[in-house]
Chains A and B, each alone.
Chain A
């Protein structure tokens, strides 16, 4: 069964460093998402991406964040200058369509630890 994959599974970085989290969505999906979950808190939406541009973003997704689909398979989340409060589990998801009834398929997550 097709699945969303994410690398790395765990990333440790120093405050102020740039990190890139990588995702490979399901191959025939067109809509891509990033969510994050700070330990003990809710899973929160960050950004959605379609047709090589951001379609929606939350207030969390400020200028420090960017997303890119550099080739036909990868979807990346970049944090330019990490802060302590960026420590969280980051989930990538993809869906075939954007309808509210459609299922989003999630990857296993990348745990980001900022020291």
Chain B
């Protein structure tokens, strides 16, 4: 079945550092790919998405490119802020069916001043 693998956290960075959170997936079809973020005490919020190969999703300085050849969707940001501290979830949704999301385990990011 479908699965999503994310790098283990926590990822600890200083403000203005470069961020990469790795995400790879296994899917039978052609999924859409998502990054969700969960700030402390809040629900899951969509950060960005990409729906086909080579698409780049971007939002709030975060980017991720849908790489079909490596089945990856790594999240990057050039300069993190303390306010980016949160848990980041990579997820996929298959083309068929009722768009059920399959999530990775989540990666906690801690940014210090």
Q: Are B49 and A103 in contact, with the CB atoms below 8 A?
A: yes
12 A–B contacts from the bound complex (CB under 8 Å)? A43-B103, A45-B101, A48-B100, A56-B98, A56-B100, A91-B43, A95-B99, A103-B46, A105-B46, A106-B45, A108-B41, A109-B43
Shortest beta-carbon contacts, A-B, top 10: A106-B44, A43-B103, A108-B43, A100-B93, A106-B43, A101-B51, A100-B32, A48-B98, A100-B99, A56-B98
Contacts of A31 in B (CB 8 A): 98-99
> Which B residues lie at the A interface, using CB under 8 A?
31-32, 34, 36, 41-46, 49, 51, 89, 91, 93-106
Question: Is A55 engaged at the interface, CB distance under 8 Å to the other chain?
Answer: yes
Known A-B contacts A48-B98, A100-B32; the reply to A43 vs B106 at CB < 8 A is yes
> Which A residues lie at the B interface, using CB under 8 A?
4, 6, 31, 33, 35, 41-45, 48, 50, 55-56, 91, 93, 95, 98-109
Contacts of B106 in A (CB 8 A): 42-43
CB distance from A21 to the nearest CB of B (A): 14
Contacts of A41 in B (CB 8 A): 105
CB distance from B27 to the nearest CB of A (A): 10
Closest B residue to A97 by CB, please name it. B99
Closest A residue to B6 by CB, please name it. A42
Contacts of B96 in A (CB 8 A): 100
Name B98's contact: one of A35, A55, A105 (CB within 8 Å).
Answer: A55
Known A-B contacts A43-B89, A91-B43, A91-B44; the reply to A104 vs B101 at CB < 8 A is yes
Q: Are A98 and B98 in contact, with the CB atoms below 8 A?
A: yes
Name B99's contact: one of A91, A99, A108 (CB within 8 Å).
Answer: A99
Name B31's contact: one of A100, A102, A103 (CB within 8 Å).
Answer: A100
Q: Are A107 and B98 in contact, with the CB atoms below 8 A?
A: no
- Rounded to whole angstroms, the CA-CA distance of A42 and B45 in the bound complex is 16
